């Protein structure tokens, strides 16, 4: 009967269901986009190292009142501090050091400008996972000896060699120094949070080799010490321990302020939750008005439908149909109409997500829980829209209803 009603009154039904479809399109579109963006941002943050503390001169959490003047004169983290932290810390599993610079990278007649050169220590890969798609990663002996070998980023390999397998074994030059490529990093894609490492456009070498080429006391791209906590150790506990270790290492008196920053990666992830919650609230506010208009449209259809079927309702009640059966019939029909509108809205969300995924730096997907939410909204809205006309139909006197025209 619901399908027949839609077929008999196509224009009326279409206009009334537009509000439902538009409301579902708005809310599911916003929720799907925000959910996908949240997953992308949190994945990028966790790529910086889960349960990891970055020891730096700069505090990463900023804002309009960021007191940069308090940090600019702080000393830079030094490679020698890594061994002291490893010796004194009982909660740290891995401690790594990274420093960077930039240079032009040459191979044959090809050149890439401003390539990031990252000099890293042995534990780096245990904190910042470097997935190698071709070749291999740096070995322990290459870290110890400071051999002139490197792992190159995916985009750099494509630019210089055309394909990633061709990069293995080739020698590239930067600042007059020759290094042999032993591995190519798997394509990472654009990060939403930035960070000190752009693995698609970098050249990774051992820190000992890096230190033989550069003045490591210069700021360069910013040296940093990364400390990963042991399993079942909270980042808060690790921060407290590292604060004492760093103050001891830097020989700070009790009255002196810290001249280092302990940046908890987990806190960066948690700070994003409030932003995404606000975006979701905005999406609900946008969709609320459309859903309200759509609900009035469906209610209007149901009022008209009850009036058109008054004689049928009377006949059904005369041959034994109970009031709750009539009530259920019209509520189901109202819910069905809203589900049709919701399906139309979901279809347009899918089209939008497919289109945006090709141009956005992250793919937009509609999670199962969001689809369930859409159908729940449709069913709930259908029941609310149809409850009054359905109640009127259920309370009809069969004799009066049969005699109506």
- Cβ neighbours around 279 below 10 Å, total: 16
Structure confidence by residue, pLDDT tens digits, 120-133: 999 999 888 888 99
Among residues 259, 293, 322, the one where a domain terminates is 259
Structure confidence by residue, pLDDT tens digits, 43-54: 766 666 678 899
pLDDT band at 341 (very low <50, low <70, confident <90, very high): confident
Cβ-Cβ contacts under 8 Å for 8 (sequence gap 6 or more)? none
| Residue 5 in this model has a pLDDT that exceeds 70 | no
What share of residues in the chain are helix, strand, coil (percent, to 5)? Answer: 55, 15, 30
pLDDT band at 218 (very low <50, low <70, confident <90, very high): low
Is the domain of 98 the same as that of 247? Answer: yes
Structure confidence by residue, pLDDT tens digits, 278-318: 777 776 776 677 777 777 878 887 888 788 778 888 888 88
Q: What is the mean pLDDT of residues 229-248?
A: 91
Cβ-Cβ contacts under 8 Å for 147 (sequence gap 6 or more)? 141, 206, 209
Residue 10 vs residue 353, higher pLDDT: 353
The confidence score (pLDDT) of residue 48 equals 64
88 - beta bridge partners? none
Backbone angles phi, psi at 298, to 5 degrees: -65, -40
The confidence score (pLDDT) of residue 337 equals 81
Is the domain of 327 the same as that of 191? Answer: no
| Residue 179 in this model has a pLDDT that exceeds 90 | yes
Per-chain mean pLDDT for the chain: 84
Is the domain of 364 the same as that of 292? Answer: yes
Is the domain of 293 the same as that of 206? Answer: no
| Residue 253 in this model has a pLDDT that exceeds 80 | yes
CB-side neighbour CA atoms (13 Å) of 235: 19
Number of domains in the chain: 2
Is the domain of 183 the same as that of 324? Answer: no
Contact 53, 91 (CB under 8 A): no
Q: What is the mean pLDDT of residues 211-216?
A: 86
- Collapsed DSSP state (helix, strand, coil) of residue 134: strand
Q: What is the mean pLDDT of residues 101-122?
A: 91
| Residue 229 in this model has a pLDDT that exceeds 60 | yes
Is the domain of 39 the same as that of 82? Answer: no
Is the domain of 204 the same as that of 322? Answer: no
243-247, 267-271, 335-339: least confident range: 267-271
Please tell me the distance from the alpha carbon of residue 344 to that of residue 221, in angstroms, as a whole number.
50
The confidence score (pLDDT) of residue 197 equals 74
Contact 12, 301 (CB under 8 A): yes
Sign of CA dihedral 277, 280, 286, 290: negative
Is the domain of 221 the same as that of 370? Answer: no
Is the domain of 293 the same as that of 397? Answer: yes
Is the domain of 220 the same as that of 278? Answer: no
69 lies in a domain? Answer: no
pLDDT band at 319 (very low <50, low <70, confident <90, very high): confident
| Residue 32 in this model has a pLDDT that exceeds 60 | yes
User: What is the token pair recorded at 229?
Assistant: 């906590």
What is the reported pTM?
Answer: 0.67
152 lies in a domain? Answer: yes
Domain carrying residue 326 = 2-43+272-403
pLDDT band at 82 (very low <50, low <70, confident <90, very high): very high
Residue 147 vs residue 330, higher pLDDT: 147
| Residue 206 in this model has a pLDDT that exceeds 70 | yes
54 lies in a domain? Answer: no
| Residue 274 in this model has a pLDDT that exceeds 70 | no
CA-wise closest residue to 351 among 361, 341, 342, 364:
364
The confidence score (pLDDT) of residue 301 equals 79
Among residues 259, 286, 317, the one where a domain terminates is 259
Is the domain of 286 the same as that of 198? Answer: no
Is the domain of 79 the same as that of 226? Answer: yes
67 lies in a domain? Answer: no
The confidence score (pLDDT) of residue 46 equals 65
């Amino acid at each position: 009967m619901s399908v027949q009603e839609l077929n008999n009154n196509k224009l009326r039904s279409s206009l009334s269901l537009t509000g439902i479809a538009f409301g579902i399109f708005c809310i599911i579109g916003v929720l799907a986009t925000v959910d996908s963006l949240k997953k992308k941002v949190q994945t990028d943050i966790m790529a910086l190292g889960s349960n990891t503390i970055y020891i730096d001169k700069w505090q990463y959490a900023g804002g309009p009142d960021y007191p940069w003047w308090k940090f600019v004169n702080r000393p830079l983290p030094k490679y020698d501090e890594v061994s002291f932290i490893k010796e004194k810390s009982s909660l740290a599993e891995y401690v790594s050091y990274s420093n960077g610079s930039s240079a032009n990278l040459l191979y044959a007649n090809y050149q890439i400008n401003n390539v990031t050169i990252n000099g890293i220590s042995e534990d780096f890969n245990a904190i910042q996972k470097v997935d190698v798609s071709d070749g291999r990663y740096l070995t322990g002996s290459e870290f110890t000896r400071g051999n002139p070998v490197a792992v190159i980023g995916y985009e750099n390999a494509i630019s210089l060699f055309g394909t990633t397998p061709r990069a293995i074994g080739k020698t590239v030059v930067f600042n007059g120094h020759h290094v042999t490529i032993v591995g190519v990093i798997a394509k990472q894609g654009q990060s939403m949070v930035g960070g000190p490492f752009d693995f698609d456009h970098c050249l990774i070498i051992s820190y000992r080799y890096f230190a033989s080429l550069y003045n490591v006391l210069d700021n360069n791209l910013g040296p940093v010490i990364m400390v990963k906590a042991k399993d079942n150790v909270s980042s808060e506990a690790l921060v407290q321990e590292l604060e004492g270790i760093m103050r001891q290492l830097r020989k700070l008196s009790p009255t002196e302020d810290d001249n280092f920053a302990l940046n908890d990666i987990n806190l960066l992830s948690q700070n994003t939750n409030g932003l995404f919650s606000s975006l979701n609230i905005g999406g609900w506010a946008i969709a609320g008005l459309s859903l309200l208009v759509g609900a009035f449209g469906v209610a209007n259809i149901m009022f008209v439908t009850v009036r058109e079927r008054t004689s049928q309702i009377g006949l059904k009640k005369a041959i034994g149909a109970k009031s709750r059966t009539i009530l259920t019939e019209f509520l189901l029909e109202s819910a069905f109409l809203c589900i049709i509108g919701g399906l139309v809205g979901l279809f347009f969300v899918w089209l939008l997500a497919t289109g945006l995924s090709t141009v956005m730096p992250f793919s937009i997907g509609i999670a199962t829980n969001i689809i369930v939410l859409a159908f729940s909204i449709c069913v709930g809205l259908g029941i609310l829209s149809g409850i009054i006309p359905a109640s009127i139909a259920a309370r009809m006197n069969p004799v009066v209803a049969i005699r109506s025209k």
